[in-house]
């Protein structure tokens, strides 16, 4: 009895926390049919990693990630996407001075991705505003340059959990100055938008680059929730989008809600961004999910699992609602990840990928670093995540995906063919499930390449929905 009462309290708490009350009484939002498209007009299903955490700290701002690492990932998991961490500190080391050295290093990495047909979303990363919140100490702070970090003499403490630094007066003030809530630093947002313009100017025509994720896990300082999101955050996104569009008409602009609350499934108050380009809008929505019970080490079993499922359900519904309100924009889950030594971890990973596929969302796992959260051990051996992520998926669809799902040796895809797209539908099929030939029901094979694991399908003549099932040839 007592346990029941405690349990219902926790569940009630979780529902309130995740903003779920509203989401339970409103109608279920429909899955998204909006996708980021490639140059041939195909809908892209994006699957890959955040690459990588190590870039937050290195002197040159680059991840400790080699071309061989990319080759291995491509071979082992067939990823086609990366959320690549970049930083304002590296782009604009001095006010108004952009580092060509940094952009050159970035270009070198982007070429590795281009050679393998990847799509890159550049992510302007920050956590806790900047490393300059506590010079010489490791707080987890990264992102902004020291010259853009104004704490007005307020203190920053010392904490075991990095998230706690968000509550320190110095950190809150650094954000308040950036958002100009203080009224003292209107120049900072302008610098930020122009730093993005410098990046977009350099990479507008780079074949790998597909999107710009304008700010990682935004935080409003003394402004929180819808007041922050609909106010200064939306304004910054609009200003940055306008700056990017002066030099780049084509790449997608991805916007995220504030991290606190939204990462746990709460609704967002983000306002609509106007995309001043010719043609249709190219805005996308890229929230994160980190269910609290999981982050607190609960794993994915027992009551923790129920709470995590409740978080996933409200996150999904709230994400679909926000994407609809931003103008039926494509969705990318920009980050999710966990210590996969936790009980039930791989079930959670599979649950998230299933949910993303149902929603029509792309996914970038956090992160590509070695160790307990990543696909490989420090010594290079593959971890449990590799097999969990190496699943069939439609990489590029010559039309609109209506629904799809997969297990290691089966893929089902329903889509509405677009007769104006001439490039074929492309499907990745892992060795694990497809060691030999393939069997396609409901479609016609154009080519099957055993070495690249790529299956291409002939485009049907009519624009009627087609349903395809792919299994290993008997």
What is the rounded distance in angstroms from the CA atom of residue 111 to the CA atom of residue 10? 49
Beta carbon nearer to ligand MNI, 140 or 417: 140
Number of Cβ atoms within 10 Å of the Cβ of 163: 13
Q: How many residues bind ligand MNI (CB under 6 A)?
A: 12
The distance of closest approach from Cβ of residue 49 to ligand MNI in the complex, given in angstroms and rounded to an integer, is 13
Smallest distance from ligand MNI to CB 408, Å: 28
Task: State whether residue 403 is helix, strand or coil.
Answer: strand
Smallest gap, in angstroms, from Cβ of residue 275 to ligand MNI?
25
Interaction of residue 139 with ligand MNI, rule CB under 6 A: no
Compute the distance between CA of residue 223 and CA of residue 19 in angstroms, rounded to an integer: 18
- Contact yes or no for 243/275 (Cβ under 8 A): no
Q: Is 232 left (phi over 0), alpha (psi -120 to 50) or beta?
A: alpha
Contact at 8 Å (CB) between 185 and 238?
Answer: no
127 binds ligand MNI (CB under 6 A): yes
d(CA 317, CA 314): 5
Sheet holding 466-472, edge to edge: 399-407, 410-417, 466-472, 438-441
Q: Nearer to ligand MNI by C-beta: 165 or 393?
A: 165
Minimum CB–partner distance for residue 163 and ligand MNI (Å) = 4
The closest residue (CB) to ligand MNI is 259
203 is a site residue for ligand MNI (CB under 6 A): no
CA distance 129 to 141: 6
Nearer to ligand MNI, 212 or 290 (CB): 290
Buried b vs exposed e over 236-264: b needs ≥16 C-beta within 10 Å?
Answer: bbbbbbebbbeebeebbbbbbbbbbbbbb
Q: Which one among 229, 335, 369, 390 touches ligand MNI, defined by CB under 6 A?
A: 335
Beta-sheet pairing, 393-397 with 43-44: antiparallel
Strands (E), 180-310: 209-213, 252-255, 283-285
The yes or no reply on residue 217 touching ligand MNI (CB under 6 A) is yes
How far is the C-alpha of 395 from the C-alpha of 404, rounded, in Å? Answer: 11
The dihedral sign for the CA sequence 273, 276, 280, 283? negative
Q: Does 404 bind ligand MNI (CB under 6 A)?
A: no
Judge whether 455 and 438 are in contact, CB under 8 Å.
yes
Q: Of the candidates 259, 283, 284, 455, which one interacts with ligand MNI according to CB under 6 A?
A: 259
Phi, psi dihedral angles at 99 (to 5 degrees): -85, 110
Q: Is residue 113 involved in binding ligand MNI (CB under 6 A)? A: no
Choose which of 260, 342, 402, 408 interacts with ligand MNI (CB under 6 A).
260
- Using the rule CB under 6 A, which residue among 263, 281, 355, 456 binds ligand MNI? 263
Q: How far is the CB of 473 from ligand MNI (least distance, A)?
A: 42
Does residue 315 interact with ligand MNI by CB under 6 A?
A: no
88 binds ligand MNI (CB under 6 A): no
Of the candidates 290, 300, 393, 415, which one interacts with ligand MNI according to CB under 6 A? 290
Please state the φ and ψ torsions of residue 176, each to the nearest 5 degrees. -60, -35
**C-alpha span between 199 and 221 (Å, rounded):** 26
Piece of the chain touching ligand MNI by CB under 6 A; list 4-12, 109-117, 213-221, 398-406: 213-221
Distance of closest approach, residue 166 Cβ to ligand MNI, in angstroms: 4
11 binds ligand MNI (CB under 6 A): no
Q: Segment contacting ligand MNI (CB under 6 A): 256-264, 318-326, 375-383, 457-465?
A: 256-264
| 130, 89 Cβ separation under 8 angstroms | yes
CB closer to ligand MNI, 88 vs 166: 166
The mark string for 155-174 relative to ligand MNI (x by CB under 6 A, - otherwise) is --------x--x--------
Residues that bind ligand MNI (CB under 6 A): 127, 163, 166, 216-217, 219, 259-260, 263, 290, 295, 335
């Amino acid at each position: 009895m007592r346990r029941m009462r405690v349990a219902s309290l926790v569940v009630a708490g979780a529902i309130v926390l995740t903003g779920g009350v509203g989401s339970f009484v409103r109608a279920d939002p429909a899955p998204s049919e909006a996708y980021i498209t490639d140059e041939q007009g195909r809908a892209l299903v994006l699957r890959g990693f955040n690459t990588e955490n190590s870039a937050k700290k290195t002197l040159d701002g680059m991840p400790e990630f080699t071309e061989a690492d990319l080759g291995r990932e491509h071979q082992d998991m067939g990823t086609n996407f990366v959320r690549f961490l970049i930083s304002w500190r590296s782009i604009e080391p001095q006010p108004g001075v952009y580092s060509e050295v940094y952009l050159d290093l970035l270009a070198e990495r982007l070429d590795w991705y281009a050679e393998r047909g990847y799509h890159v979303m550049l992510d302007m990363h920050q956590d806790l505003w900047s490393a300059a919140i506590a010079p010489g100490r490791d707080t987890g702070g990264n992102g902004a340059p020291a010259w853009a970090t104004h704490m007005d003499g307020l203190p920053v403490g010392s904490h075991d959990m990095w998230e706690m630094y968000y509550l320190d007066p110095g950190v809150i003030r650094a954000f308040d100055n950036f958002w100009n809530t203080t009224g003292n630093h209107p120049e900072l947002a302008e610098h930020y938008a122009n730093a993005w313009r410098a990046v977009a100017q350099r990479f507008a025509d780079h074949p790998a680059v597909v999107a710009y994720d304008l700010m990682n896990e935004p935080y409003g300082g003394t402004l929180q929730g819808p007041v922050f999101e609909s106010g200064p955050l939306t304004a910054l996104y609009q200003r940055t989008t306008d700056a990017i569009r002066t030099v780049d008409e084509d790449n997608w602009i991805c916007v995220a809600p504030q991290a606190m609350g939204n990462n746990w499934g709460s609704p967002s108050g983000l306002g609509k961004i106007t995309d001043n380009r010719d043609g249709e809008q190219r805005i996308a929505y890229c929230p994160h999910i980190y269910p609290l019970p999981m982050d607190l080490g609960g794993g994915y079993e027992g009551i923790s699992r129920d709470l995590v499922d409740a978080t996933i359900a409200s996150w999904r519904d709230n994400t679909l609602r926000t994407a609809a309100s931003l103008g039926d924009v494509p969705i990318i889950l920009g980050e999710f990840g966990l210590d996969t030594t936790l009980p039930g971890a791989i079930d959670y990973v599979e649950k998230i990928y299933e949910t993303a596929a149902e929603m029509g969302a792309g996914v970038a796992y956090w992160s590509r670093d070695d160790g307990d959260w990543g696909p490989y051990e420090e010594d290079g051996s593959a971890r449990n995540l590799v097999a969990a992520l190496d699943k069939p998926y439609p990489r590029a669809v010559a039309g609109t995906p209506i629904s799809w799902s997969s297990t290691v040796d089966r893929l089902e895809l329903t889509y509405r063919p677009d007769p104006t797209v001439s490039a074929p539908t492309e499907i990745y099929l892992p060795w694990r499930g497809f060691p030999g030939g393939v069997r396609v029901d409901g479609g016609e094979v154009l080519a099957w390449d055993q070495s690249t694991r790529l299956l291409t399908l002939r485009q049907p003549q009519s624009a009627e929905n087609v349903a395809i099932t792919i299994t290993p040839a008997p």
